[in-house]
A = this chain, B = another copy of it.
Amino acid sequence: MVNRRIAEILRSGQPDESLGIQGWVRTKRESKGFAFIEVNDGSSLANLQVVINQDLPDYEAILKKLNTGAAVEVTGVLLASLGKGQRIELKAETVKVYGEADPEVYPLQKKRHSFEFLRTIGHLRSRTNSLGAVFRVRNACSAAIHQFFQERGFLWVHTPIITASDCEGAGELFSVTSLDLKNIPRTENQGVDYTQDFFGKPTYLTVSGQLEAEVMAMAFSNVYTFGPTFRAENSNTSRHLAEFWMVEPEMAFCDLEGDMDLAEAFLKHIFKHVLETCPEDMEFFNQRIDNSVLATAENIINNQFERLTYTDAIKLLEKADVKFEYPVSWGLDLQSEHERYLAEQLFKKPAIVTDYPAQIKAFYMRLNDDEKTVRAMDILAPKIGEIVGGSQREERLEVLERRVQAQGLNPEELWWYLDLRRYGTVPHAGFGLGFERLVQFMTGMANIRDVIPFPRTPQSAEF
């Protein structure tokens, strides 16, 4: 008897096939002389219906064990289903119960649970319809990302998680140390004696792999990172995580135009791939979570993204017949409400805003000839605002040194980054995608804590 995955059976199983399944009971309905159980193995949102006839040996005893959450192995024969809601069902010949789930204490009974409650049982919540669908879509997004870059000859590079450089200025850092926090060794003048620490100096969790990705792009032309990054920012919101995954491609011999072209193709590819591979899960989100997710996905796939400069964006926002909470003025960063106005109301599709004022962007972004703006780009999407941020990098040594100084950074710590401009420098560009924001956007989930298996947030590092 061959065990098969339920997704595959629902897709292509035929009446009279003999097979086995293994999974967990979602529901049980008893009737006179027989019972139905719905079994799920995580391969799909839909369950396989199993019919158990009372002539099964030990029928009563087994039935008592078949509660929500119980783990079972069922063998039998597929039948065309007479009931509505499914094409096919499994007539049980043997039912083996591996592990029971006592209905008095198992927290996941049939009723609906709030996402807040489900977070307190993070070790069980993936067994629900909604979180199951989220993590299948998350996997499909991951697979689409690797596929997109590998097909184009990009190398996946693993940039370091522990870093001694704190100079990117992207927010607050977590310290990493092997010192005993109860008993920090001291230098003579009461500083921390880092010579006794594992790396011999202060180290942190990375906020971005970009600078190291640039190193690799200067050898392999096209590379991407896909790994965890960190912010010790005390933001208790539905859009912030202390630990999140980022995708950061970096391309040598590439300017901002090429960067925007790649980012647009990239986003379209991911959405297409997910709609193709997870149609049932996406339908579920559209019905149960946010009835705009399918339309938003189609909007992204089918529209050429609008492209405009920050300066033009400011003009459009100043003309807008809308009352914004935050001020609009050349030199100030765009707020989420501004970004959403542009993408959702004005263009009704994603928009790429370029050439932001230098003073609100990072030191490594390429300075334009006006000396006031940099070759940055942000992709703003309907419903979510900024989803991708990128730039052409400053490849001219003397300009980069000037920018490093101007932002108060230490050029000595950046010696190796500056070296990339000393030896064989080339125009290059890249962007960053916050992976959880993408999954949140794709699924319509309201809280980012519900799109990562084990969220890390202020005061919470459970499981």
Interface residues of A (CB under 8 A from B): 3, 5, 7, 22-25, 41-43, 69-71, 73, 98-102, 105-106, 108, 122-124, 126-127, 131-132, 135-136, 138-139, 142-143, 146, 150, 153, 155-165, 172, 174-179, 181-182, 184, 190-192, 198-203, 205, 212, 215-216, 218-221, 227-228, 230, 232, 234, 242-243, 245, 252-253, 395, 416-417, 419-427, 452-454, 456, 458-463
Contacts and interface: CB of A to CB of B under 8 A. Distances in A.
26 contacts: A22-B253, A24-B424, A42-B219, A71-B426, A98-B424, A98-B426, A99-B395, A100-B424, A122-B416, A123-B215, A123-B417, A126-B215, A139-B157, A158-B228, A159-B453, A159-B454, A161-B161, A162-B456, A162-B461, A175-B176, A175-B181, A179-B181, A198-B242, A203-B461, A212-B454, A212-B463
Nearest to A395: B99
Nearest to A397: B99
B456 A199 contact: yes
A253 B228 CA distance: 30
Q: Counting chain B CB atoms within 10 Å of each CB, which of A98, A190, A201, A423 scores highest?
A: A423
A146 B142 CA distance: 10
A80 B138 CA distance: 48
A177 B164 CA distance: 15
A143 B123 CA distance: 29
Nearest to A127: B219
Contacts of A177: 174-175, 177, 181
Number of copies: 2
Contacts of A7: 153
A43 B5 CA distance: 39
Contacts of A179: 175, 181
A423 B105 CA distance: 9
Given A101-B422, A135-B220, A182-B184, 8 more contacts: A24-B218, A25-B424, A42-B219, A98-B427, A143-B156, A160-B454, A162-B174, A212-B453
Contacts of A419: 123-124
Contacts of A461: 160, 162-164, 199, 201, 203
Nearest to A459: B200
Contacts of A105: 422
Given A124-B423, A221-B41, A142 B156 contact: yes
A269 to B, nearest CB: 16
Contact of A423 (B69, B174, B416): B69
A69 B219 CA distance: 10
A383 B198 CA distance: 30
A392 B308 CA distance: 57
Contacts of A462: 164, 416
B101 A423 contact: yes
A179 B416 CA distance: 29
A303 B137 CA distance: 37
Contacts of A131: 219
Contacts of A190: 182
